[in-house]
Amino acid sequence: MSSTAPDSTSPNTQWFRVAALDELPEGRVKTVVAGHKSIALTHHNDQYGALDNRCPHQGGPLGEGSIENGLLRCPWHGWDYCPLTGQPPGDLDVDDALETFPVEVRDDGIYIGLATEAPHVRTVTDVMAETMVNWGVTHVFGMVGHSNLGLADALRRQEQQGKLTFIGIRHEGAGAFAASAYAKLTGKPAACLTIAGPGATNLLTGMWDAKVDRAPVLALTGQVSSQVLGTGNFQECDLSAAFSGVAAWSGTVLSHSKHAELMSLAVKHALLQRDVSHLIFPDEIQTQSAKDVPASTPVGRITPLQIAPPPDALATAVKYLQKAKRPVIIVGHGARFNMPAVIELAETLNAPVLTTFKGKGQISDRHPLGCGVLGRSGTPIASWFMNESDLLVVLGASFSNHTGIYPGKPIIQVDFDPLALGKFHPVTVPVWGEISIVVEQFKNAVADNAQAADQRGEIAERWEIWRTEKLRREADDRGNGINSASIFAAMTRKIPANAVISVDVGNNTYSFGRYFECEAQSVLMSGYLGSIGFGFPGAMGAWAAAGHERTIVSVSGDGGFGQYMGDFNTAVKYGMNITHILVNNSQLGKISKEQRAGEWDVWQTSLHNPDFAQYAQICGGFGVQVNKKEDLDGAIATALAYDGPAIVEIIADPELI
């Protein structure tokens, strides 16, 4: 490398104060930064030297080295340099010399002169980041690291322009869950950023959560340089293979790729297939020049999705609707953006509306036709009306074994995905179409000739029976913590109607589905993956999507929160106004219950926990512990009023669920 320094008198030289006069003792070296340049500042023989900080052999940081016997020694491989001139000792090759920079000792400190930085040259990742934003991806959750620095810098430029929000997380798995929750709430894709190797593999659980719940997510993973791929390089793993099962579309960014087109295809697949897309960025490609390459936009690249059903399927379904006496509508997560039209159809048919657990809250429990959740996490109201029905109209639900839909009834199933129709067993009338279009056509067809009975009175009676039972359960007390009926009754009273609630898995989740009564809240969960740990990261994603307009609440057990509790610090850093209801029973209660049900010994389900309320305070948030049910309302109200992340730790009875 050349040792030519910029002319200290040139008007193109910029001077940077890098140290105080007494900051670097004689015989020492330290790393300083001038502009974007990392420099090894030396103090030797009463003089200061400024050398390129990067050793030319292995890239070792010379500022972390030491001056021994009058020579600066590289900390990585022991190569020596003159600490003032950057020359190697003796007659060694001048190409090994370090670049040096002028130093001035002024009254207020040590200054280094650098040539004025050249303007930034547009890169491959600039093109791709701009294309990503053009397609509507405005939030990235991730961790900046050594194999994604070029891409991260491109994202930084988009953030500087106000086009992108980046949230730096503490664990990539939390970022993946946050992106999945963002997509579930909005229907729009969010992105995750990781390094190669372990950073990328840490995404996989959250990516599977997004995939099985049909949430569009974009994974952006760094990779080792392309010239060492396949050689077993540090942190190299086959990311195409690792993501092959979870990504609906995956591509590696190469030197001569059509870079804007790659990003367009990635986002387009995520949007249209409601799935995961994945882009792999080899390290050196990220900073490759793309000076005159334009970004792409979605104009002319994407179609509206309001597809109408085939006429024969529609006509057959209408015949069943017209003659049904006790039809019931069951809505799943797939109907969440179409509920106004669904409720209009229900009111036309006088039909009770049940939801799957993933669909909880899509119709208010205060609505005269709302019957709550069906299945294992549900209410006896929903199951009663399903059993008494003569027709089930199933909209955007999967018929998984957790859903509880009885296949022995006549069934009209509507879904945008033809593969979802009759997936687990035959249905009477499979209807392929977008739910909003199909239910509008149903409503128009039966508006004047439906024969369904008005079941509103029965619904009110069943709610009265269930609410009386819930009150009885609130009185239960074994002296071993607060019962779940009381916990979720307090939440029902205190959580605002417009809140977004992210729930975890476990007994706390079953109890939430059973006892909490929704008004207009949106509920997020790890549905078909059922992954423990989703609750709090999901709330971070919800906050990014809607936290400035809506109250954000999360619910978990102690086991679930422990998975990603480090990211409570992320919430503090970004001022995320999240209230976390933490049901602490000092065990993995659902697993204990399953062991007993299977006649196994209860083993290895106990948990050793910190004081979670105190943990929240240590991190810089708010925390309160509740041991008596009469304190629940006040604690929840106080946490909701706190401007920032808060934990309400509730000591709960593991048996009273």
- Is residue 341 located within the same domain as residue 235? no
Choose one of 91, 115, 139: the last residue of a domain: 115
pLDDT attached to residue 1: 35
- Is residue 241 located within the same domain as residue 383? no
- Is residue 656 one of the residues assigned to a domain? no
> Considering only CA atoms, which of 259, 263, 219 is closest in space to residue 242?
219
- Is residue 423 located within the same domain as residue 353? yes
pLDDT attached to residue 447: 86
- Is residue 433 located within the same domain as residue 580? no
- Is residue 440 located within the same domain as residue 552? no
- Is residue 3 one of the residues assigned to a domain? no
Choose one of 255, 271, 287: the last residue of a domain: 287
- Is residue 214 located within the same domain as residue 349? no
Burial of 564 (0-12, 13-18, 19+ CB in 10 A): buried
- Is residue 28 located within the same domain as residue 96? yes
- Is residue 128 located within the same domain as residue 104? no
Domain total for the chain? 4
- Is residue 412 located within the same domain as residue 528? no
- Is residue 93 located within the same domain as residue 131? no
Contact predicate 370/379, CB 8 Å:
no
Q: What is the CATH number of the domain that holds 215?
A: 3.40.50.970
- Is residue 198 one of the residues assigned to a domain? yes
Contact predicate 326/390, CB 8 Å:
yes
pLDDT along the chain (657 residues), means of 10: 52 92 96 94 96 92 94 93 91 76 96 93 97 98 96 98 98 98 97 96 97 97 84 83 96 95 97 96 95 94 88 96 95 94 95 95 96 90 95 92 85 93 93 94 88 93 96 95 98 97 95 96 93 97 97 97 97 98 94 91 94 98 97 98 98 94
- Is residue 403 one of the residues assigned to a domain? yes
Please report the DSSP string for 561-608 in residue order. Answer: HHHSGGGHHHHHHTT--EEEEEEE-SB-HHHHHHHHHTTPPP-S-B--
Q: What is the CATH number of the domain that holds 375?
A: 3.40.50.1220
- Is residue 553 located within the same domain as residue 573? yes
The CA-atom distances, in angstroms, between 469 and each of 24, 381, 474 are 74, 12, 9
Q: What residues make up the domain containing 255? A: 124-287
- Is residue 216 one of the residues assigned to a domain? yes
Q: What is the CATH number of the domain that holds 111?
A: 2.102.10.10
- Is residue 7 one of the residues assigned to a domain? no
- Contact residues for 41 (Cβ-Cβ < 8 A; gap 6+): 18, 19, 24, 29, 30, 31, 32, 48, 49, 50, 63, 103, 110, 112
- Is residue 1 one of the residues assigned to a domain? no
- Is residue 267 located within the same domain as residue 364? no
Choose one of 403, 428, 457: the last residue of a domain: 457
- Is residue 469 one of the residues assigned to a domain? no
DSSP, collapsed to helix, strand or coil, labels residue 87 as coil
pLDDT attached to residue 7: 61
